[in-house]
Amino acid sequence: MHTWNRRRLLITGTILLAAALMVYGLSLLFRENEAFENSAGAEAEFGTEFASARIVGRYKGQKQWMLEAAAMRDNGDTVVLEGIDKGIIYREDKEFVTFSAGRGLWEKKQRGLDSNDLLLEDNVVIYMDGLPVLRTSCLQWDADANVLDAPSEVFFEREGSRIYAEQMVMDARKQEVTLKGNIRLDMDDGSLMTVVGRLTYNLETGEFEASGPVTVERGG
């Protein structure tokens, strides 16, 4: 009798142990499936992320810009960039200006068509010959027009002259900077010029051309 009871206890214990192991295994499988689903959902929602990236932007076979970012998230038609430290805008495959920015957005496609437009934000700085020449909060690269467009206030400095303006367009093809709105120009000789309208600066020749009411105060 005692032997039979021991066998019954042993069989019962074995069954309980097997059941416990089965429940544990199923719970692990469920957790793994749940983690996989959550991971897949996060990737679908946020896109593919990279810790660092170097991107070359080409449009119609022409290299327009290059940048290095501390982080990148590819969402398919758009790419979100963080910590842009080294960027180059090209003119005829040669370096035109360099830039840095806190973040950016590269639009690879617009309305189903290939695009190379680039939006820069957060402490955007443009450099020429290694020196900072322009600062603004937002700058847009128009791939089709080959221009940099600053829709908000800009500070431009070149060859000792300092310019404050409400808007700016920098044309890579013409090598011109067009400042718009209320413009203040502090010249290197101490003179002050204010323009309401438009001021065009030629990067190659260094010449200014104003359009609109102009006021000049000569330096002492």
pLDDT, tens digit, 9 for 90 and up, residues 107-150:
887 767 778 899 999 999 999 989 999 999 999 999 999 999 99
| Rounded average pLDDT over 178-192 | 92
- Alpha helices, H only, 54-133: none
- Name every residue whose Cβ is closer than 8 Å to that of residue 89 and which is 6 or more positions away in sequence: 64, 65, 95, 96, 97, 98, 99, 141, 148, 172
Q: Which domain range does residue 171 map to? A: 153-220
Residue 115 placed within a domain: yes
Which residue, 69, 57, 76, is CA-closest to 146?
Answer: 57
Residue 71: which of 103, 47, 40, 44 has the closest Cα?
A: 103
- The answer, as to whether pTM is greater than 0.85, is no
Is 145 inside a domain boundary? no
Q: Is the confidence at residue 96, as pLDDT, over 60?
A: yes
Q: Phi and psi for 82 in degrees, rounded to 5?
A: -130, 140
**Same domain for 25 and 88?**
no
List Cβ neighbours of 95 (8 Å cut-off, separation of 6 or more). 88, 89
- Among the candidates 133, 164, 183, a domain finishes at 133
Q: What is the pLDDT of residues 47-81, one digit of tens each?
A: 677 678 899 998 888 899 999 999 999 988 889 99
Give me the number of domains the chain comprises.
Answer: 3
**Based on the domain organization, do 107 and 165 belong to the same domain?**
no
Nearest residue to 139 (alpha-carbon basis) of 157, 124, 156, 117 = 124
Give the 3-state secondary structure of residue 35.
Answer: helix
- Do the beta carbons of residue 139 and residue 126 sit within 8 Å? yes
Looking at residue 220, the DSSP 8-state letter turns out to be: -
Q: Are 194 and 182 contained in the same domain?
A: yes
The residue count for the chain: 220
Considering the domain architecture, whether residues 41 and 62 belong to the same structural domain is answered as no
Using a 10 angstrom Cβ sphere, with 0-12 exposed, 13-18 middle and 19 or more buried, the burial of residue 1 is exposed
In one letter, which amino acid is 184? R
